[in-house]
């Protein structure tokens, strides 16, 4: 049985993660790879229940600590119930967000800090990490502007936070890429959809069969 691979797709608001997740799954399928696509928060029944708690309501519904704990709990269930079984079956898993979103949003975007969020992940998911994390980046504020232009797509509780918060998240993603360049690859999300997909595939070349 071939080895499964776990790929996470990351980035701020409006960078095109959902579109690129579908495109990547299609391209990998053409190569004979069986792909499972999933998302966070969510991806398993328990995690989907927590998703509703996390993304609805007012911004102040949860303190930074409570929010980080909820994300860690959802991720623990996601890893146990969805990701690990698919990898054990030799499938590739692509997730729309994983740990690095928590590091950037709940760690870098608040006073909680990245180290505290890493500690929750070590406990909840035994420190489990993707084989490759692809972070889509746009120039400052461009992603939020693009997100605000999407027809019929109301921002969730976290997406509605102010520009300074989202700039802090963007800086945190860039810092993660600098700290872990082997796992975390920063990818330019500007230009045509196909161009971006090709950039993502280039960052996966060493993992492809």
Tell me how far apart the alpha carbons of residues 207 and 191 are, in angstroms, rounded to a whole number: 25
β-sheet with 184-188: strand ranges across: 35-39, 92-96, 6-11, 132-137, 184-188
> What pLDDT does residue 153 have?
59
> What pLDDT does residue 134 have?
98
> What pLDDT does residue 152 have?
45
> Which residues of the chain fall below pLDDT 70?
1-2, 140-153
Model-level pTM?
Answer: 0.92
Residue 105 is given by DSSP the state: I
> What pLDDT does residue 146 have?
53
Determine which helix (DSSP H) or strand (DSSP E) holds 184, and give its type and residue range: strand 184-188
Q: Where are the alpha helices (DSSP H) in 31-113?
A: 45-55, 64-78, 84-88, 99-102
Q: pLDDT tens across 84-120, in order?
A: 999 999 999 999 999 999 999 999 999 999 999 999 9
> What pLDDT does residue 73 have?
98
Question: Domains in the chain and their CATH numbers?
Answer: 6-207 (3.40.50.300)
Q: pLDDT tens across 179-196, in order?
A: 999 999 999 999 999 999
């Amino acid at each position: 049985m071939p080895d499964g691979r776990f790929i996470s797709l990351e980035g701020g608001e409006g960078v095109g993660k959902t579109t690129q997740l579908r495109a990547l799954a299609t391209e990998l399928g053409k190569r004979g790879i069986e792909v499972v696509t999933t998302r966070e928060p969510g991806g398993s029944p328990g995690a989907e229940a927590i998703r509703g708690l996390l993304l609805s309501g007012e911004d102040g519904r949860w303190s930074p600590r409570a929010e980080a704990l909820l994300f860690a709990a959802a991720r623990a269930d996601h890893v146990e119930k969805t990701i690990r079984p698919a990898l054990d079956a030799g499938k590739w898993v692509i997730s729309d967000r994983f740990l690095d979103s928590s590091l950037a949003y709940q760690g870098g975007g608040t006073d909680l800090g990245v180290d505290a969020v890493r500690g929750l992940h070590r406990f909840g998911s035994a420190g489990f990490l993707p084989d490759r994390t692809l972070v889509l980046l746009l120039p400052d504020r461009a992603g939020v502007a693009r997100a605000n232009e999407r027809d019929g797509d109301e921002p969730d509780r976290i997406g509605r936070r102010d520009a300074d918060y989202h700039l802090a998240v963007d800086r945190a993603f860039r810092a993660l890429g600098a700290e872990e360049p082997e796992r975390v690859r920063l990818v330019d999300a500007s230009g045509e959809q196909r161009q971006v997909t090709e950039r993502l595939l280039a960052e996966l070349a060493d993992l492809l069969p």
